[in-house]
Amino acid sequence: MTPFLELTIIFLFTALIAFLFRLLKQPLIISYIFAGLILSNYLFKFTETKALIEIFSDLGIAFLLFIVGLELKLNSLREIGRQAIIIGTLQEIFTIIAGFLIAKILGFGTTPALYLGAALSFSSTIIMVKLISDKGDIEKLYGKLAIGFLLVQDLITILILFLLPFFKKEIFSQEAFLQLSLGLIAIPLIPYLAYRFLPRIEKFLTRSEEFLFLFALAFGLGISSLFKYLGLGIEAGALIAGISLSNLISSTEIASKLKPLRDFFLILFFILIGSKIFIFHFDQYLWQVIVLSLFVLIGNPLIMLLLLGLLGYKSRTSFLLGLTSAQISEFSFILISLGIKFGHLSEEILSITALVGLITIFLSTYFFAYAEKIYLLLERYLKIFERKKTREEKEEIPSYEVILFGCDRIGYSFLNVLRPRINTDLRTNQHGLFKPRIEMDKNRSRINADVGTDKRGLAIKNFLIVDYNFELIKKLKKEGFNVIYGDAEEIDFLQSLNLTKTKLIISTIPDFETNLLILQEYKKENPEGIFIATAYRLNDALDLYKNNADYVIMPHFLGGEFASNIIEKFGFNKDEYLKLKEKSIAHIQQRYRLGHEHP
């Protein structure tokens, strides 16, 4: 069998297994592991593609940590709040200790027990955020705390993965000591040099999307290879490379373009994990798997219940948040794989961890789906974890009320309306809240008589501009606006904006396909939101209306200032836009009859 044919069979079989798991509404991660398990135990042993899959697996881990570094801002901890930091840190400490003690009782050595304790303490951010989002609980207290504590946990996990190479057996040789010394110098030096010099050439990099993508690949893989040579591993290098590029305006765009590569290579990583599970010797570690799975499914939530009870949260919040820790993470497999690579662990530990992962991820999904019913059954018992005086549940996660896609030409007309309406008590921060030092222009033109005036004005709490023009972004940032460099044609980028509570989106991008993509993603997240698009062709405008756009600007027939006056008058009143939409559709249809279509 040729390598190409073997790889084809692997993907076909994995797609079939993934399809079955999708029917069961299970996370796809366990379908990849399960596919690898079945393939290696019953079909073939990856004889032709083993080396290739191992290389791809290393690339998957590297891309994962590179993207984590790109999205890791220095003020992340401040953004998620003090309570999330406390919960995440204490949960990690107590769970690692408890997991270590249980592993020791089960007969594992000190080093394997430490690895297992850490691996069992990691919860899957990807899986839990999706489950919380699917339930519509992102804005509930436990949902906010879960996202915060999972982020803290990810940061601790990254720190552990980063420090792990320092404990390799050969680290005390003279050559290793020299490499390590150079590595310790490179850790702060590379991000410092990148922060100083890369912004100066970013304009050149962003002139071509392909070149920006190629540069990011070369930079990430180059730094990863350098760190591997210095004995710190590609994982640490990939993370440092991502952090080094995180200050670029285009960092969000880079991450968006690299995510498909990350997903492809990670699929093969999890297939490889599954291929290393030997079920024919399963009876030798059956009890260890059962006990460790019970610890994750029951012990981890109990630890969270105790911690949150002491911090003053109600039993219901503590229980729901506890369930978010009832499975292990993709980082757990990465940690154990590195332990094997560094000679600390045997392959048996990976088999045990993978089986615990299959069991806990599978069962915790159902636990979370029926969380409310389970809580009602256990409520009277869970009250013992609750203090008499509980914490006030009044925290909020900021979100953008208005997003403007494209700020050139027509977009500037909207700034004249949106800019003075921002709450003047707010200052610039990472959530899109800002305080522009610009006074209301008392001599602004009167609103068109067809639109009228609105004495109430348009009160906006926060406001974001998305643009692809590097020079324009720099100019807007200097004026105090919150701006993101990004490509609206990238679906991953749109999903990263969290459009759930956005009340109004204005797109001055004339491309129909781009507008349609933004519209579909927005309405999927917030059906009641208001979407205003731009079109140069009458049939494009009609198609956007058919797809539930609330209003379409046609620059050939409607000036940017007139459109901005509409925003000023109607604000977030969806009914008014619907009335205007009906008139606009009638106007377009009349022009069609008169043959006024523009090319």
CA-to-CA separations, 79 to 23, 283, 589, in angstroms, rounded: 37, 47, 49
Stronger pLDDT, 229 or 486, i.e. the higher one:
229
Strand arrangement, sheet containing 530-534: 483-485, 463-467, 402-405, 504-507, 530-534, 551-553
pLDDT tier for residue 439 given thresholds of 50, 70 and 90 = very low
pTM score, two decimals? 0.60
Q: Which domains does the chain have, with CATH numbers?
A: 3-383 (1.20.1530.20), 402-594 (3.40.50.720)
The CB-based long-range contact list for 339-347 (8 Å cut-off, 24+ gap) reads 339/111, 339/115, 339/164, 342/164, 342/165, 342/167, 342/168, 342/169, 343/168, 343/169, 344/111, 344/112, 344/115, 344/167, 344/169, 345/111, 345/112, 345/115, 346/112, 347/276
Nearest 5°: the CA angle 147, 151, 155 is 170
Give the mean pLDDT of 38-46.
Answer: 76
> In this predicted structure, which of 36-40, 140-144, 483-487 has the lowest mean pLDDT?
140-144
Q: Cα(488)–Cα(509) distance, rounded to whole angstroms?
A: 9
Q: pLDDT by residue (tens digit) across 274-284?
A: 777 766 566 67
Q: pLDDT by residue (tens digit) across 237-296?
A: 888 888 888 888 888 888 888 888 888 888 888 888 777 776 656 667 788 889 999 999
Q: Give me 135's structure tokens.
A: 């339930």
Q: Among 327, 395, 387, which residue's Cα sits nearest to residue 358?
A: 327
Q: pLDDT by residue (tens digit) across 520-551?
A: 888 888 888 889 888 888 788 888 888 888 88
Q: Cα(400)–Cα(418) distance, rounded to whole angstroms?
A: 13
- Which pLDDT value is given to residue 409? 62
CA-to-CA separations, 49 to 30, 267, 268, 277, 538, in angstroms, rounded: 21, 14, 11, 17, 54
pLDDT tier for residue 585 given thresholds of 50, 70 and 90 = confident
Residue type, position 525, single letter: E
Q: pLDDT by residue (tens digit) across 128-168?
A: 766 776 666 665 667 777 777 777 787 788 778 777 776 66
C-beta separation of 308 from 95 below 8 A: no
pLDDT at residue 596 tops 60:
no
pLDDT tier for residue 15 given thresholds of 50, 70 and 90 = very high
Q: Cα(145)–Cα(147) distance, rounded to whole angstroms?
A: 6
Q: Give me 580's structure tokens.
A: 């205007």
Q: Cα(92)–Cα(123) distance, rounded to whole angstroms?
A: 10
C-beta separation of 563 from 414 below 8 A: yes
The enclosing H or E element of 506 equals strand 504-507
Tell me how far the alpha carbon of residue 386 is from its chain's centroid. Answer: 32
Stronger pLDDT, 300 or 151, i.e. the higher one:
300
Please give, one letter per residue, the 3-state secondary structure of 544-557.
Answer: HHHCCCCEEECCCC
From the CB of residue 222, how many other CB atoms can be counted at a distance below 10 Å?
12
Those residues with Cβ within 8 angstroms of residue 388's Cβ, 6 or more apart along the chain or in another chain: none
